[in-house]
C-alpha cells in the first residue's frame, strides 16, 4: 500500500453518543502522522453530493463531550446504486483521498465493503451504534451511554410504580438486538425482560407475575426490546390485560432519548481508542476491516464477518437475569 497522505472521515447510520470523540481521535492522530483529514458531511449522501471539507485539529476541539455527530448523518438510497457510488468515487478523487474511516453500524460497513471492491479505496470501520450488535467487538460506541440513559429513566419510573403499586412496561430500542434491554433490565432490577433473541411468552410473564403476587410484591417492572416477537410494550400490555388483571399496568416508551446526551466515560474512551487505532491500522496497510475491543485488546475483523456474523447476548447473562428477577 502506498503512503497515505489524505484521508476522509464520516459518520453514517443512526447517531450514537461518542461519535464525536472518535472523529476527534481520527483527526488528531492523523495530524500527528502528517496525514491530512477531510470531513464528509452526512455520510454516503454527502459523499455523493460532494459535501467534503478539510478539517484540522482545532476543528475538533471541545467536541469530545458532545452527543450526536458534528459531521451529521443520513441514510443514502443513492449510494445503493452503482451510479451513486461512481459519483461518490469521483468526488473523493477530486480531493485526492487515499483512504476512508467510516464510523457507523452494519449498514455503514456494508456500503464500505461494496465501495472498496468496486474502487479499491481502503476503508477502516469504527463501530458506532447504540445497539451493540456488531460482531468483532465487546461493545460499540454509544451503547454504554444508551443503557445509562434507559436506567436513569427506569429508576424514575420505579418511584411511581412503587407509590401506586403498578406494573410498568418500559420499551427500549433494539429491533434486532436485545443488548440494551438485557443490560438495562438486569441493572434496573426488572422482573421480566423481552428480547428478540428469546421466546419469552405472555404465559411466561403471567407465571412471573403470579409468583411476585404470592410474595406480596406490590409492583413490577418489565423491560421490552422493541423488536421482540410479541410486539412492542403497548401490544404486550394489551395482551396481558386480556388474561391477567391483578396489576394496573402502564407503558413508557423511552425512544430516541437513548441516542442523545453526552457520552459516558466508557464511550469516550472506546471511541478515542478506536479512532486512534484506525489511523495506525491504515498506516500499517490494513484494508476493508472493522476495529473493535475484545477482552480489552484491539480486535480486527474483516467487513464481511462484521456484517454477516451474528452477535448474540451471552446465554449466561440471560440465565442470570432470570434468576435475579425472582
With contact defined as beta carbons under 8 Å apart, do 240 and 249 qualify? yes
- The residues that bridge with 126 in the sheet, in sequence order, are 103
Look up the pTM and report it. 0.95
In the chain, % of residues over pLDDT 70 = 98
With contact defined as beta carbons under 8 Å apart, do 188 and 223 qualify? yes
pLDDT above 60 (res 1)? no
The three-state secondary structure class of 319 is: helix
Looking at residue 166, its pLDDT comes to 83
With contact defined as beta carbons under 8 Å apart, do 131 and 118 qualify? no
* Cα gap 123→101, rounded to integer Å: 6
Mean pLDDT of 163-170: 87
Place 246 in a pLDDT band, splitting at 50, 70 and 90.
confident
| Domain 143-260: CATH class, spelled out | alpha beta
Place 128 in a pLDDT band, splitting at 50, 70 and 90.
very high
Choice among 131, 133, 144, 267 that is catalytic: 131
Q: What is the mean pLDDT of the chain?
A: 94
Looking at residue 321, its pLDDT comes to 93
Domain ranges across the chain: 6-142+263-308, 143-260
The three-state secondary structure class of 31 is: helix
Helix (H) or strand (E) holding 187: helix 179-187
Phi, psi (degrees; rounded to nearest 5) at 142 = 105, -20
Among 168-172, 206-210, 233-237, name the one with the lowest average pLDDT. 206-210
**Residue 254 corresponds to which cell in the numbers above?**
423511552
Helix (H) or strand (E) holding 248: strand 248-253
Residue 131 is a catalytic residue? yes
Looking at residue 61, its pLDDT comes to 97
* Cα gap 67→55, rounded to integer Å: 19
* Cα gap 206→215, rounded to integer Å: 14
On the question of a common fold for 6-142+263-308 and 143-260, the answer reads yes
pLDDT above 80 (res 24)? yes
Mean pLDDT of 130-138: 97
CATH number attached to the domain at 6-142+263-308: 3.40.50.450
pLDDT above 70 (res 193)? yes
Q: Which residue has the cell 429508576?
A: 155
Looking at residue 194, its pLDDT comes to 96
Amino acid at each position: 500500500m502506498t503512503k497515505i497522505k489524505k484521508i476522509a472521515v464520516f459518520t453514517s447510520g443512526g447517531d450514537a453518543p461518542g461519535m464525536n470523540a472518535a472523529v476527534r481521535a481520527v483527526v488528531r492522530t492523523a495530524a500527528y502522522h502528517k496525514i491530512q483529514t477531510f470531513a464528509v458531511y452526512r455520510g454516503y449522501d454527502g459523499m455523493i453530493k460532494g459535501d467534503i471539507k478539510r478539517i484540522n485539529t482545532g476543528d475538533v476541539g471541545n467536541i469530545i463531550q458532545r452527543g450526536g455527530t458534528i459531521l451529521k448523518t443520513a441514510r443514502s438510497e443513492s449510494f445503493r446504486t452503482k451510479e451513486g457510488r461512481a459519483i461518490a468515487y469521483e468526488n473523493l478523487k477530486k480531493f485526492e483521498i487515499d483512504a476512508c474511516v467510516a464510523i457507523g453500524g452494519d449498514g455503514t460497513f456494508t456500503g464500505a465493503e461494496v465501495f472498496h471492491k468496486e474502487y479499491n479505496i481502503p476503508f477502516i470501520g469504527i463501530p458506532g451504534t447504540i445497539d451493540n450488535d456488531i460482531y468483532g467487538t465487546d461493545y460499540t460506541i454509544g451503547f454504554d451511554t444508551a443503557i445509562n440513559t434507559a436506567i436513569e429513566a427506569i429508576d424514575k419510573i420505579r418511584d411511581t410504580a412503587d407509590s401506586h403499586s403498578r406494573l410498568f412496561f418500559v420499551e427500549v430500542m433494539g429491533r434486532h438486538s436485545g443488548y440494551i434491554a438485557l443490560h438495562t433490565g438486569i441493572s434496573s432490577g426488572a422482573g421480566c425482560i423481552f428480547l428478540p433473541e428469546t421466546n419469552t411468552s405472555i404465559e411466561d410473564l403471567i407465571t412471573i407475575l403470579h409468583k411476585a403476587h404470592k410474595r406480596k410484591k406490590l409492583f413490577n417492572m418489565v423491560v421490552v426490546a422493541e423488536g421482540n416477537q410479541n410486539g412492542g410494550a403497548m401490544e404486550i400490555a394489551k395482551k396481558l390485560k386480556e388474561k391477567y388483571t391483578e396489576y394496573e399496568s402502564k407503558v413508557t416508551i423511552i425512544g430516541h432519548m437513548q441516542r442523545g446526551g453526552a457520552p459516558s466515560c466508557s464511550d469516550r474512551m472506546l471511541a478515542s481508542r478506536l479512532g486512534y487505532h484506525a489511523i495506525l491500522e491504515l498506516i500499517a496497510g490494513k484494508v476493508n476491516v472493522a476495529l473493535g475491543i475484545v477482552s480489552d485488546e484491539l480486535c480486527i475483523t474483516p467487513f464481511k464477518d462484521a456484517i454477516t456474523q451474528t452477535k448474540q447476548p451471552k446465554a449466561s447473562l440471560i440465565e442470570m437475569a432470570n434468576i435475579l428477577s425472582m
